[in-house]
Chain A
């Protein structure tokens, strides 16, 4: 490891942020964590990350702030203290779940990045910016780490806001600020255990499909998404923090393995209590064909993920390979199975719903 650094992690309470804090702390760095409301940091394993408000050794010093407001909502002393006393900033604060108004993504993901850059610029503190591989939008094919704005169309305002944030980071880099962009794909449970602290995004989709809340979705069997274990993302960020000079001005894909829609169908079929969705050609999918209840789930949740069911994207990670110390996951379906198994063990997935006949029978018994 390089000599200990003083590092600020924004979004320290988030899934990736907390895991990064835990790893940086373990590696001997002095870590400050910018948090919004949360006062407790929990690593992905579920274990607490030692934290304090007074910079005690061996703990993450918690700093309460808000990336959406100038100077992160910090008082002058704290701002100055951070601006002068940091060797590195890891900016992982973001809103990643779908379904919010465009302005929310803009405020947190784009404007938030601008505010963090403001702090970094004070003393030209190197910045590791956690973006998303899906700044590529709906563009299919092999996505290179060097590519950013190629006129792509976006699947949702989240992707758009993250692209805008990356553009701000690139601009700062062009003005001599040392920056690294890390682009995780869909962040899921740990590589070995499948464990995940929060069940969001993909997990919500899996829940609705496996419970048969929605029986049909518009998608192609050969469309694919990339799943990356949260520990692999955190490990890459930590590795980059240790080697920031070499990583400077690079963009790294933090990606795992590709999972086709067909794999999702095949793997869901391995669980007796699960339903398996029907894939319908997207051009011909009409929510009107769904039952009333299905349609409600479609409009409220599933439609937010619609474009991912038809994308055929693969992510090159040549640059990232020069920094990561783990092997990229070789088998997407295996990892999908592992994260589903964990979600079943945790009780998030798998509890079979009673059939209509069973429910009626129970009701009549009561």
Chain B
């Protein structure tokens, strides 16, 4: 150890003096210094063990004594025995089950079992009797081996996806984990990775250690990454971790619960956990549409390559990373993880920042390979998309009515209809930016302040349109010109440029309805009520106008 007994005693005495503690406690020095590692900057970690059942606070108290940072934690005998019993319950269990053991629990047990005793060795021994160190070493050997196995299987999957750099990263991670398993088999159970090199140094003359350093320190040049990855995989097996042969045929594509695919018009959206919405670019869609649960990964890759999309493996790897698909090892989940560093599970990319967020067919992907996360939760996405569609529909409807009112010189009707068109536009604009629920109509104009860009020109046009009452044919022409300019600006700003002209043709009308039905099924999946009564009516009536004669709508279109 880097500290001698006298130094430890002195630090212990000074530390205990500073804290209030029950009588008759045991004290141990644990962690890297107790293991024989550490250096002049290492913390001094004490654990005070109170001979009682009741729990003690687990937060450490920190002092600075003689230029060193000293941490002291307190635990009761009852707490520690519970920890040791829990780990003891895993002895002899399957690797997959052992790997579920919490790393912090294992760390606490390891530090206790390998600590240097300062006071009350009798009490410390009594506690340690609840978990034999040899049994603990077996648990750690298994625990690390299982993590290594998962990392290597993940690496093999990435190799099959032609993601060589990522495969190499996970192969090296798996190799480090295999080394920790190998060390545990030789009695070296310290968990944190920072002293791995000193742990390995203790296995003097072991040829596998020599090979480990050669492999892990290799700096593969261009084109050598695959072979380097395979070297790592082979060494993992030689370090005593079975079940990691590079056999891509074992890799199978599997479903992730609560990931669903929703096409709105031609645009494919994925919903994860009923919460996150991803929009796919064209290339990403083509690869996604080739995925069939239960098929070998190799078959998916071959199929995806036939789509003509470049580097489909990169897209499949992204689906995997985002938790949109799983890859199994003959049905067994692959759960790669770096203990003490990162939690298990999928990651979430930064949300897309496109503005507006929505177009008439949902979101617009920023590029063909995009798997873009929308900055809206799924229920608000569906509600806003429906409101956007309905806003555009209102414009179309009002324009039609306005033309009729002007033709018959119904000036007051025309003014109200103009306001309806303006409101429809504002609804569409706010919805396109994800505002949902919408403010009431009289407040729409004022709530343009919710948008990142104030849209001053649209605001100006809207104010003028609200205020305009045509009383002559000349006024009517000006009003229509102004309204057309307003609608053009709204559509440009709200992504509604592609909105079908519902009233011009049967095809346009049908496409409007189809988009509504597409949104309806997504809304049903999300247990949503439609945001607007009119939209509900529109879709439940199949687009038939309520006052039209039966069959007339079809004939007229």
Binding site for B on A (CB under 8 A): 216, 221, 262, 265-266, 269-276, 278-281, 283-286, 288-289, 341, 344-345, 350-352, 354-355, 358, 361-362
Q: How far, in angstroms, from A154 to B517 measured CA to CA in the complex?
A: 29
Contact B540 A344 (CB under 8 A): no
Contact A350 B292 (CB under 8 A): yes
Nearest-neighbour CB distance to chain A for B47, whole angstroms, equals 49
Contact A278 B518 (CB under 8 A): yes
Name the CB-closest residue of B to A342.
B294
Q: How far, in angstroms, from A274 to B289 measured CA to CA in the complex?
A: 8
What 3 pairs between A and B have smallest CB-CB spacing? A284-B542, A278-B517, A269-B260
Name the CB-closest residue of B to A261.
B524
B275-312: which have CB < 8 Å to A? 286, 288-294, 303, 306-308
Contact B521 A276 (CB under 8 A): yes
Nearest-neighbour CB distance to chain B for A41, whole angstroms, equals 29
Name the CB-closest residue of A to B509.
A289
Most-contacted residue by chain B among A262, A269, A358 (CB, 10 A): A269
User: B468 at interface (Cβ–Cβ under 8 A)?
Assistant: no
Contact A272 B518 (CB under 8 A): no
Contact B544 A284 (CB under 8 A): yes
Name the CB-closest residue of B to A283.
B542
Q: B293: which of A281, A341, A355 is its contact (CB, 8 Å)?
A: A341
Nearest-neighbour CB distance to chain A for B148, whole angstroms, equals 31
Contact A351 B292 (CB under 8 A): yes
User: B259 at interface (Cβ–Cβ under 8 A)?
Assistant: yes
B518 contacts across to A, CB distance below 8 A: 278
Contact B286 A358 (CB under 8 A): yes
Known A266-B525, A279-B521; contact A344-B308, beta-carbon cutoff 8 A: no
Contact A216 B517 (CB under 8 A): yes
Q: How far, in angstroms, from A350 to B253 measured CA to CA in the complex?
A: 13
User: B541 at interface (Cβ–Cβ under 8 A)?
Assistant: yes
Q: How far, in angstroms, from A278 to B523 measured CA to CA in the complex?
A: 12
User: B409 at interface (Cβ–Cβ under 8 A)?
Assistant: no
Nearest-neighbour CB distance to chain A for B277, whole angstroms, equals 13
Known A278-B518, A281-B540, A281-B541; contact A221-B524, beta-carbon cutoff 8 A: yes
Nearest-neighbour CB distance to chain B for A105, whole angstroms, equals 32
Known A262-B524, A266-B525; contact A272-B262, beta-carbon cutoff 8 A: no
Q: A266: which of B260, B289, B307, B539 is its contact (CB, 8 Å)?
A: B260
B262 contacts across to A, CB distance below 8 A: 269, 276
Name the CB-closest residue of A to B526.
A266
Known A283-B542, A286-B554, A289-B510; contact A271-B308, beta-carbon cutoff 8 A: no
Nearest-neighbour CB distance to chain A for B546, whole angstroms, equals 12
Contact B306 A358 (CB under 8 A): yes
B303 contacts across to A, CB distance below 8 A: 352
Q: How far, in angstroms, from A283 to B551 measured CA to CA in the complex?
A: 11
Contact B542 A273 (CB under 8 A): no
Q: How far, in angstroms, from A269 to B308 measured CA to CA in the complex?
A: 25
Name the CB-closest residue of A to B515.
A278
Q: How far, in angstroms, from A341 to B257 measured CA to CA in the complex?
A: 13
B543 contacts across to A, CB distance below 8 A: 284
Nearest-neighbour CB distance to chain B for A217, whole angstroms, equals 11
User: B261 at interface (Cβ–Cβ under 8 A)?
Assistant: yes
B521 contacts across to A, CB distance below 8 A: 221, 265, 269, 276, 278-279
Q: How far, in angstroms, from A266 to B522 measured CA to CA in the complex?
A: 8
Q: How far, in angstroms, from A246 to B517 measured CA to CA in the complex?
A: 51
Q: A358: which of B308, B540, B554 is its contact (CB, 8 Å)?
A: B308
Contact B542 A275 (CB under 8 A): no
User: B255 at interface (Cβ–Cβ under 8 A)?
Assistant: yes
Contact A270 B255 (CB under 8 A): yes
Q: How far, in angstroms, from A345 to B286 measured CA to CA in the complex?
A: 21
Contact B260 A358 (CB under 8 A): no
Q: B542: which of A262, A272, A274, A281 is its contact (CB, 8 Å)?
A: A281
Known A276-B262, A278-B514; contact A269-B525, beta-carbon cutoff 8 A: yes
Name the CB-closest residue of B to A365.
B308
Q: How far, in angstroms, from A350 to B544 measured CA to CA in the complex?
A: 35
B288 contacts across to A, CB distance below 8 A: 272
Nearest-neighbour CB distance to chain B for A309, whole angstroms, equals 14
A289 contacts across to B, CB distance below 8 A: 510
Contact A279 B261 (CB under 8 A): no
User: B263 at interface (Cβ–Cβ under 8 A)?
Assistant: yes
Contact B263 A273 (CB under 8 A): no
Nearest-neighbour CB distance to chain A for B175, whole angstroms, equals 34
Q: How far, in angstroms, from A288 to B539 measured CA to CA in the complex?
A: 18
Nearest-neighbour CB distance to chain B for A335, whole angstroms, equals 16
Contact B286 A270 (CB under 8 A): no
Known A272-B288, A276-B521; contact A345-B260, beta-carbon cutoff 8 A: no
Contact B259 A270 (CB under 8 A): yes
Q: How far, in angstroms, from A356 to B524 measured CA to CA in the complex?
A: 30
Contact B261 A269 (CB under 8 A): yes
Q: How far, in angstroms, from A78 to B308 measured CA to CA in the complex?
A: 64
Q: B291: which of A265, A266, A273 is its contact (CB, 8 Å)?
A: A273
B499-541: which have CB < 8 Å to A? 510, 514, 517-518, 520-521, 524-525, 539-541
Q: How far, in angstroms, from A199 to B319 measured CA to CA in the complex?
A: 32
A350 contacts across to B, CB distance below 8 A: 292-293
Contact B554 A361 (CB under 8 A): no
Nearest-neighbour CB distance to chain B for A283, whole angstroms, equals 7
Name the CB-closest residue of A to B521.
A265
Contact A345 B263 (CB under 8 A): no
Q: A344: which of B259, B263, B294, B541 is its contact (CB, 8 Å)?
A: B294
Nearest-neighbour CB distance to chain A for B497, whole angstroms, equals 23
